[in-house]
Amino acid sequence: MTTSSDPTVRTPVPPSRLPQVGTTIFTVMSALAQQVGAVNLGQGFPDFDPDPALAQAVGAAMAAGHHQYPPMAGVPALREAIARKVATLYGRAYDPINEITVTAGATQAILTALLALVQPGDEIIVLEPCYDSYVPGIELAGGTVVRVPLTDGSLRPDFDRLAAALTARTRAIIVNTPHNPSGTVWRADDLQRLWNVVADTDVLLIGDEVYEHMVYDGQPHASLATHPGLAARSLIVSSFGKTYHVTGWKVGYCLAPAPLMAEFRKVHQFNVFTVNTPMQHALAAYMADPAPYLGLAAFYQAKRDRFRAGLAGTRLRLLPCEGTYFQCVDYGALAVPERHLPVAEFCQWLTREVGVAAIPLSAFYGDGRNQQLVRLCFAKRDATLDEALQRLARL
C-alpha cells in the first residue's frame, strides 16, 4: 500500500445519488449464511443445475462461432421465440422486430424502463412491500416514489388506495405479479380493476412478471399482456434466469408497444447495448420445446407443498403462497425469546443460531416496518429443504 504526505493527493467524494442505499439485505444474509454454514433460504436462486440440454446448447452456439456482438435488441431467433410463446400463452402478438428487446436480466430491464420514461418530478407508484430495486431505480431516474400499501393481512392490491394516489404528475405504476415477496398473484378481475383506475389517464405500467411460470393450484398467470387496454400502455419484463434455473446468466426481456419500445431502446443501447451472444442462441434453440416452462408450475408446486407440509409441524404460521418460489411465515408464536427482536436482527439470529438464512419482510418496505414476517426461498433441492426443515423444527 502506498501513501502520500502531499495534502493535495486526495479522493474527492461527490454527493451520493443514493444516500440511503447500502449493501442489499440479500448480499448481507447470503454472506452470513456462508460464514456460519447455514442453509441459505434467503436469496432467491436455485441450488440445482439447469437442464443439461440448455448448457449443451450454449456449447453448440460457441462451437458455431457466435462470439461477437448480436443485434442491439437481441438475437432475432430469440425474439421470435419469445413472440411465439407470448402469443400462445397470453393471446397478444408482439412484433419481434420492434416490440421485444432482450435485456441483461430483469433488473436492468426495469431500470432501463424507468430511465426511458421518467422525467424529473414524475411520480411513480409502487405497491408495498416491493422488490428492492424499484425505489433506487425511480430515484436514479429523477422520479418521486409514491408508496401504496397492499392490503393488510392478505397483501393484495387495494384499488381504492391506488386510485386515490393518482395525481396529474403520476407517470407510471409498477405492477408485480406473481408478487415478490408475498407470493400472491393477480387475477383477471384485478387486471380489470386496474384498467378502471387508469383507463381515463395517461399513466403507464411497468409489469414485473419474472415469476410468470410459477403460478399454482391451477390458476393462470394474469399477464398485463392478456388485457388489451393495459397491454397498450405497458412495458412487461420477464426473466430467463428464473424460468430456466440460470439466474447467473442474467438474461431477460421486455415487451412493449413500438412507441414505448423505441424509447426503451434509446436507453438500452447506451447502458448495456446488447446481451451475451451464445446464451441468446442457446435460449432460442431451447425454447423450441415449450415443455420446460409449461411444466415449471408443477415442478415448483411440488417443492412448495413439500416445504409447507414440513413447516406445518413448526410454530411458524404460514402465509398463502399462490406463486413465485417464496414462502412467507409469521414467527410471532415461537416460544423463543428472540421472537421479540426486530425482524432484521431475528433473521441474523436465525442464521447464526438455528442455521437457516431468511430475508426480513421489512427490507421490502420504505419504513422498514417491524412485522414478524420473513421470506424463505424453496427453489432448492429436496435435500436442502429437508435439512432446513429439520433445523427449523427445533424452534
* pLDDT tens-digit readout, 70-87: 999 999 999 999 999 999
pLDDT reading at 355 higher than 70: yes
Which residues in the chain belong to E strands, given as ranges? Answer: 39-40, 100-103, 123-128, 144-149, 170-176, 204-208, 234-239, 252-255, 317-318, 326-330, 356-357, 359-360, 373-377
Mean pLDDT of 42-64: 96
Strand ranges across the sheet with 326-330: 317-318, 326-330, 373-377, 359-360
- What does the pLDDT average to over 229-249? 97
CA 290/CA 193 separation, integer angstroms:
31
| Section 41-63 average pLDDT | 96
Q: What is the pLDDT of residues 310-349, one digit of tens each?
A: 999 999 999 999 999 999 999 999 999 999 999 999 999 9
Per-residue pLDDT, 395: 87
The pTM assigned to this predicted structure is: 0.95
Q: Which conformational region is residue 155 in: left (phi greater than 0), alpha (psi within -120 to 50 degrees), or beta?
A: left
Q: How many helices (H) and strands (E) would you count in the chain?
A: 15, 13
- Predicted pLDDT of residue 4: 67
Is 31 in a helix, a strand, or coil? helix
Q: Residue 85: which of 293, 300, 323 has the closest Cα?
A: 293
List Cβ neighbours of 321 (8 Å cut-off, separation of 6 or more): 183, 216, 304, 308, 327, 328
Digit-coded pLDDT (tens) for 171-223: 999 999 999 999 999 999 999 999 999 999 999 999 999 999 999 999 999 99
- CA atoms of 369 and 128, how far apart (whole Å): 11
Residue 292: all three cell numbers together: 420446460
Mean pLDDT confidence for 27-42: 93
Domain ranges across the chain: 25-44+294-392, 53-288
Partners of 170 in beta bridges: 123
CATH 3.40.640.10 fits 25-44+294-392, yes or no: no
Run of H or E residues at 233: none
Is 53-288 a domain of CATH 3.40.640.10? yes
Average pLDDT over every residue of 225-230: 98
Residues 29, 33: Cα–Cα separation, whole Å: 6
Residue with cell 422488490: 131
Domains 25-44+294-392 and 53-288 are alike in CATH topology: no
> What distance in Å separates the CA atoms of residue 339 and residue 332, rounded to the nearest whole number?
6
* C-alpha triplet 383, 395, 130: angle, nearest 5°: 75
Measured from the Cβ of residue 200, the count of other Cβ atoms closer than 10 Å reads 7
pLDDT recorded at residue 1: 58
- Residues linked to residue 39 through DSSP beta bridges, in sequence order: 356
Q: What is the pLDDT of residue 371?
A: 86
pLDDT at 154 over 90: no
The grid coordinates of residue 348 equal: 441474523
Res 166: pLDDT: 98
Q: Which amino acid is at 54?
A: L
CA dihedral of residues 10, 14, 19, 24 (deg, nearest 10): -60
- CA dist 164 and 162 (Å) reads 5
Q: Is 273 exposed, middle or buried (0-12, 13-18, 19+ CB in 10 A)?
A: exposed
Three cell numbers, residue 209? 412478471
Lowest mean pLDDT across 166-180, 193-207, 219-233, 358-372: 358-372
